[in-house]
Amino acid sequence: MAKEQQHIPASKVARSAKFVGTGIKIGGNYIKHYSKKLFNPDLSKEELNEDNATDIYESLSQLKGSALKVAQMLSMDKNILPKAYVDKFSMSQYNAPPLSGPLIVQTFKKHFGKSPEQIYDKFNLKSSNAASIGQVHQAELKEEKLAVKIQYPGVGSSISSDLKMVKPFAFRLLGMSEAELAVYMKEVEERLLEETDYELELRSSMKISEACKDIPNLVFPKYYPELSGPRVITMSWLNGLHLKEFLATEPSQETRNQIGQALWDFYNFQQHELRAVHADPHPGNFLITPEGKLGIIDFGCIKSLPDSFYYPFFATTSSDLMDNKEKTIKAFRQLEMILPKDNEAQVEFYYQTYREMISLFAQPYAKGSFDFSKNGYFDQLYAFGEKLAKMPEFKQARGVKHFIYVNRTNFGLYSILHELGAQVRTDTYKPHLKTDY
């Protein structure tokens, strides 16, 4: 566990100063790199990336909230950043520096008027896991082992100002295009507004865990509304390992497949039967239990799929609609992938490019089963993403706003299944198709 943090910079001035200080460190790293390069022209950027990644992560992890969420999201997009950034930023998924005990007690007194020891029979002031929005502590009440999730102070009130500071910071240091950055910033802001609303998360957690309770090999905590509030959620404790810890035990292919199938079914049941989906599929939100089941421990962001998006999107991925050019273009127009202002040549270009992209994305659905361990498929996905990023036609974002969440959700799902090396049946929960949208 990382060293405990005694305070979070709360004021706009203090948080801004943290960004400026980090920028100065980055400048020093570049000076050091190019000084060495004078004597060794073949020097790679590996050490530079390591130094920058370390300095940026240390800064963002102390700020937490919006700033750290950017790092968490970027760590999932392995085709955008050098490996040093991905490795360092992935720590934000469940291993950020935790807050100290006094800050935790202060949060409880503010929201409950009591210390944690007055609420629970036992409460461990040392956190078990710490991420971008909050951290988790073990507790006991009436011999029931509990997990208590506590939101960091000031996270909700700093969203807007943090994002304004993160935008130029990320643009300069991470080399992303303005279009990519705009999409990230919009997504982060929308998600954080939801994720900092713990009362909304509690309701979503109870509703979706009840709806998904019969899916094989899934387990959910029990939630305690009477022990929860705007900044605290109390649930039963689930024993288990995070993905990297689980993979380090060298599980059998059968167990990998069982976990992968549970994950696939969880997401596709939500998309097709509930039309609302757990839209933050990073490894920190899941545990693998000793019995080989998948535990779902976080429902901070739920994305609803309106009919106007659901039917045309899944018609393109799950039917023979793509064999009919006219109907495909109609779907692309509905989804704002092709715009009214596009001329004939642009319509043809976007039709061909999006058709190729969706055909690649839909491969796991094509035959009823898919082996996610295959590197070749993911090499294709990443290569296509890199190709699009270099095309001037995609400098401005296209598509309805729902793509921001749905693409991240599905590619996040694919990424975890790839890391698991799982082979899964992909025909367990099928889209509901309609062509008269």
Q: In which region does residue 434 sit, left (phi positive, over 0), alpha (psi from -120 to 50) or beta (all else)?
A: beta
pLDDT score for 214: 95
Chain length of the chain: 437
pLDDT over 90 (residue 79): no
pTM above 0.95, yes or no: no
Among 75-79, 240-244, 351-355, 402-406, the least confident range: 75-79
Residue 316: closest CA among 302, 305, 330: 330
How many Å apart are CA 225 and CA 232, to the nearest integer? 10
pLDDT reported for residue 247? 95
| pLDDT of the residue at 34 | 47
Answer yes or no: is pLDDT of 152 > 80: no
133 token code pair: 């929005």
Whether 10 has a pLDDT exceeding 80, the answer reads no
Reading the block at residue 222, the tokens are 């029990």
DSSP state for residue 373 in the 8-state scheme: T
Residue type, 173: L
Six token digits for residue 387: 């190709």
How far is the CA of 283 from the CAs of 247, 272, 307, 392, 415, in angstroms? 12, 23, 29, 33, 10
DSSP code at position 216: T
The answer to whether the Cα torsion of 364, 82, 67, 395 is positive or negative is negative
* pLDDT at residue 67 in the model: 55
CA dist., res. 146 & res. 137, Å (int) = 8
Cβ neighbors of 375 (< 8 A, separation 6 or more) are none
pLDDT reported for residue 299: 83
Mean pLDDT of 99-109: 82
The predicted pLDDT at position 402 comes to 82
Beta strand ranges found along 122-223 (DSSP E): 122-123, 129-130, 134-141, 144-151, 218-219
- Name the band, by pLDDT with cuts 50, 70 and 90, for residue 343: very high
Q: Give the pLDDT score at 411.
A: 84
Stronger pLDDT, 164 or 196, i.e. the higher one? 196
Nearest one of 178, 170, 1 to 70, comparing CA atoms: 170
* Overall CATH class of domain 100-151+197-237: alpha beta
Closest CA relative to residue 120, chosen from 34, 239, 236: 236
Nearest to 365 by CA among 319, 420, 304: 319
Mean pLDDT of 339-357: 94
Higher pLDDT: 51 or 112? It is 112
pLDDT digits (tens, 9 = 90+) for 373-431: 989 998 898 888 778 877 888 766 678 878 877 887 888 899 899 999 999 999 999 89
Q: Provide CATH 3.30.200 ranges for the chain.
A: 100-151+197-237
pLDDT at 50: 64
Is the model's pLDDT at 66 over the cut of 60? no
Mean pLDDT along residues 13-20: 51
Is pLDDT of 22 > 80?
no
Asked if 381 contacts 410 with a C-beta cutoff of 8 angstroms, the reply is no
Average pLDDT over residues 7-31: 50
What is the average pLDDT value for the chain, to the nearest integer? 79
Contact 242, 405 (CB under 8 A): no
Task: State residue 26's pLDDT score.
Answer: 45
